[in-house]
Copies of this chain bind each other. A is one copy, B any other.
């Protein structure tokens, strides 16, 4: 085999497969033939000092010439490739991580080394989406032991950057989620930073929900900051409200979440590792975790909440993180809006102390801020709430919020969605149940979080009395197609509000 045949020249085709590395080669090319590569073969692609494993898609002669190959955009990025460069191709070695995943499927406990190996292979692009999906499913439910969760957390921390701070006392908050509209973070950060504690808050975008905190904050300001830019904001304002993704904190987490999202799964062990790895990588050492409990929230029972709390506290202790887990009412959405823009409007109303602001959001944010403030050695237990309330009522929290937004790149104007549809009650009676999952679904079908202004606005809270034809909620969408998709969901009989008729 002469040397000149072992490389192919890169041609750019511009095919975007999201985060799946794909290589495109001609079925009749020399390398495919000599190496026995066919469609869906996993192929190692080597360029300069870098190498990835990509899935092969074969193409016909209309797209590539002899001696040419192409890559999906993600693979171009992983390899930092340029058109015209020459890649070498081999069979990938048997990946040890694949046998560890298999072992996990068969119910074995993985060692720390095995977990680290899997996570590193995910981050460096060696494992296919199918392999990652199998790892996640095999770890689902309660199939990770405490030791495995700790190992996974550590592996995820080390998979990316770790922030370090000159101050020894760094606070943070996290919400376990599942409760639509529970957008306390911007309010909590503003109060805590106004109090003087350092809270370098990084948030995620939506995983399976209609909006993540980063999606909502992006309505107000730029959230896509480099680590240095973020540090500058925190030095100046004590806090920030940025997207964690651009920080490369626990990058494994983002890759796992990408696959979890396609099946809407979010397992207990993965959840704990995901939460804590981000916080620890961000350098926090004092953490308040908000855990709403409700039949349609992510945590549905007090038993589950206690088990998750124990898991979180045990793993956090292992990494010397002081943690408080705060249970809250998850029986109905918090605030009125569900979707980035609609939630942003709720946040703004609370910070403005607007008398029409959703009181549940205000109170919930104050309680969380109080718990964080009480981490401070100068504050006596029980004092936190009055301190937080004072900072909110005097406008100091609002001023801090605006200062943080300006430091991150300026305050943006909020634009509402062009298409609005109001859903009315079909009967008179009392609202006896609100289905959080169906509301989230509806907001997502309407386009959230991709369409910032899309979502659902709730007009009548749980236990309130409604008349026939009284508006229950509004659906906002950017396009009529998306609105129709949401309406189809309702037409299929999915119930959002359960109303008991008055007699």
Contacts and interface: CB of A to CB of B under 8 A. Distances in A.
Given A18-B40, A36-B479, A137 B105 contact: yes
A265 B451 CA distance: 40
Nearest to A135: B137
24 contacts: A1-B480, A1-B481, A13-B60, A14-B59, A15-B24, A16-B39, A17-B40, A33-B479, A36-B482, A38-B450, A63-B63, A98-B263, A102-B265, A106-B141, A128-B262, A130-B130, A130-B259, A130-B262, A133-B133, A133-B137, A134-B136, A135-B137, A137-B138, A138-B140
A142 interface: yes
B131 A130 contact: no
A128 B130 CA distance: 10
A108 B100 CA distance: 24
A58 interface: yes
Closest 10 pairs (CB-CB, A-B): A14-B60, A137-B137, A18-B40, A105-B140, A134-B137, A133-B133, A16-B39, A18-B39, A107-B141, A16-B58
Contacts of A102: 263-265
A142 B107 CA distance: 8
Contacts of A374: none
Interface of A: 1, 13-20, 24, 27, 33-36, 38-40, 42, 57-60, 62-63, 72, 90-91, 93-94, 98-99, 101-102, 105-107, 128-131, 133-138, 140-143, 259, 262-265, 267, 441, 445, 447, 450-451, 478-482, 485, 488-489, 492
A81 B61 CA distance: 20
A13 to B, nearest CB: 6
A40 B133 CA distance: 15
Contact of A59 (B16, B134, B265, B441): B16
Nearest to A106: B141
A63 B13 contact: yes
Contacts of A492: 93
Contact of A131 (B15, B18, B262, B267): B262
Contact of A27 (B16, B35, B39, B107): B16
Contact of A134 (B36, B133, B488): B133
A441 B90 CA distance: 17
B62 A130 contact: no
Given A36-B479, A40-B18, A13 B137 contact: no
Contacts of A441: 94
Given A91-B445, A98-B263, A98-B264, 8 more contacts: A13-B62, A16-B57, A17-B57, A105-B140, A105-B141, A128-B262, A131-B133, A133-B134
Contacts of A264: 98-99, 102
A491 to B, nearest CB: 11
A280 to B, nearest CB: 26
A450 B107 CA distance: 32
A489 B94 CA distance: 9
Contact of A20 (B40, B72, B90, B93): B40
Contacts of A35: 479, 481-482, 485
A27 B16 CA distance: 9
A279 to B, nearest CB: 25
A448 to B, nearest CB: 10
A63 B64 CA distance: 12
A131 to B, nearest CB: 6
A238 to B, nearest CB: 36
